[in-house]
């Protein structure tokens, strides 16, 4: 996702943090970075991605999972096949969850970085094309969106989200509050339990992100690529965008809610 989606996801999560957990989150960020809050922290992983230095370059593959089925055309996720070395978004969420948990004894600096990565990857794992190996997650497919030529990946990361934000005065806080209400008491309330139900299982650190990756990947075949395959010359800013809005809303809501619920869980321990 682009910056606006990540900030929205961070803000939804922030809305769900218990007060003592919000204080722990703020204290984990060295030098009072990001105003002590998740929306700005969630952007850090993209800022360091293309930089030389300790977190640059090697972390780039952690933002996605390239499915190698056919390749990426039949919509399935298989850890052995697609992420054998854990260098993908599923492995990254599992590893940084372990590093953030104070029971595992990592130092404060490592836990700060782990939290920054988690605040970002809980978002990326809900973007359909971040769990898709076809044409580099759509980066290599150029289509029209509202009269402009763009790659399909950027249309999902940025163009459609920014168009949706115009319904909320281009203010991610208003969009976040709308989605938060739909989770707390509205359209998503009953299904939101399923969005986080994986943590009832043993070994939930890998099981949860894999469950989420499978859930996200399933959007690709019936929706993301279907129109593009049938009509490559279509402008995606019309009916495709309208049909994508409820999907985008729900994927962003899932990322935010999961991040909030999981941080409440992981950071509840007093070690």
Q: Coil, helix or strand for 150? A: strand
Task: Select which of 111, 120, 164, 258 is catalytic.
Answer: 120
Closest CA to 129 of 116, 118, 119, 143: 143
| Cβ(214)–Cβ(238) below 8 Å | no
> Shortest CA distance to 134 belongs to which of 87, 82, 58, 86?
82
* Residue 124 binding: pick among ligand ADE, Zn ion, none (C-beta 5-8 Å cut-off by kind): Zn ion
Q: Which does 136 bind (CB under 5 to 8 A by kind): Zn ion, ligand ADE, none?
A: ligand ADE
Q: Applying CB under 5 A, does 7 fall inside the site for Zn ion?
A: no
Identify whether the C-beta of residue 45 lies closer than 8 Å to the C-beta of residue 116.
Answer: yes
Residues between 28 and 67 with contacts to Zn ion, criterion CB under 5 A: 63
Q: Which of residues 101-130 bind Zn ion (CB under 5 A)?
A: 124
- How many Cβ atoms are within 10 Å of 131's Cβ, its own excluded? 30
Measured from the CB atom, is 4 or 24 closer to Zn ion?
4
Taking CB under 5 A as the criterion, the residue among 4, 82, 157, 215 binding Zn ion is 157
164 binds, options Zn ion, ligand ADE, none, Cβ within 5 to 8 A by partner type = none
The one catalytic residue in 157, 164, 195, 249 is: 157
Rounded Cα distance between 249 and 246, Å, is 5
Residue 66 near ligand ADE by CB under 6 A = yes
User: 133-152 mask for ligand ADE (x: CB under 6 A)?
Assistant: ---xx-x-------------
Tokens, residue 220: 């690709």
The catalytic residue among 124, 134, 225, 249 is 124
Other beta carbons within 10 Å of 185: 9
Q: How do beta strands 148-151 and 142-145 pair?
A: antiparallel
Burial of 152 (C-beta count, 10 Å sphere; 0-12/13-18/19+): buried
Q: Contacting ligand ADE (CB under 6 A), which of 16, 64, 122, 241? A: 64
Q: Which is nearer to ligand ADE, 64 or 122 (CB)?
A: 64
50 catalytic? Reply is: no
Residue 116 contact among Zn ion, ligand ADE, none, beta carbon within 5 to 8 Å by kind: none
Could you give the residue numbers annotated as active site? 1, 6, 46, 51, 63, 120, 124, 130, 153, 157
């Amino acid at each position: 996702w682009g910056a606006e989606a990540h900030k929205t996801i961070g803000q939804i999560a922030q809305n769900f943090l218990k007060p003592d957990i919000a204080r722990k989150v703020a204290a984990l960020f060295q030098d009072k970075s990001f105003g002590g809050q998740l929306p700005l922290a969630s952007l850090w992983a993209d800022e360091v991605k293309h930089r030389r230095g300790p977190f640059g370059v090697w972390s780039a593959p952690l933002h996605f999972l390239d499915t190698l089925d056919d390749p990426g055309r039949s919509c399935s996720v298989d850890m052995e096949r697609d992420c054998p070395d854990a260098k993908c978004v599923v492995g990254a969420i599992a590893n940084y969850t372990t590093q953030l948990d104070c029971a595992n004894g990592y130092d404060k600096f490592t836990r700060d970085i782990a939290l920054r990565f988690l605040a970002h990857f809980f978002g990326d794992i809900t973007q359909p094309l971040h769990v898709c190996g076809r044409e580099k997650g759509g980066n290599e497919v150029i289509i029209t969106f509202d009269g402009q030529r763009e790659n399909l990946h950027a249309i999902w990361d940025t163009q459609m989200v920014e168009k949706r934000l115009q319904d909320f005065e281009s203010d991610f806080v208003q969009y976040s509050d709308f989605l938060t209400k739909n989770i707390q008491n509205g359209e998503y309330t009953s299904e939101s339990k399923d969005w986080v139900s994986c943590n009832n299982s043993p070994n939930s650190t890998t099981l949860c992100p894999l469950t989420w990756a499978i859930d996200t990947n399933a959007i690709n075949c019936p929706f993301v690529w279907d129109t593009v395959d049938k009509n490559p010359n279509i402008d995606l800013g019309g009916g495709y965008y309208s049909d994508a809005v409820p999907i985008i809303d729900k994927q962003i809501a899932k990322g935010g809610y999961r991040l909030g619920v999981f941080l409440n869980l992981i950071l509840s321990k007093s070690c």
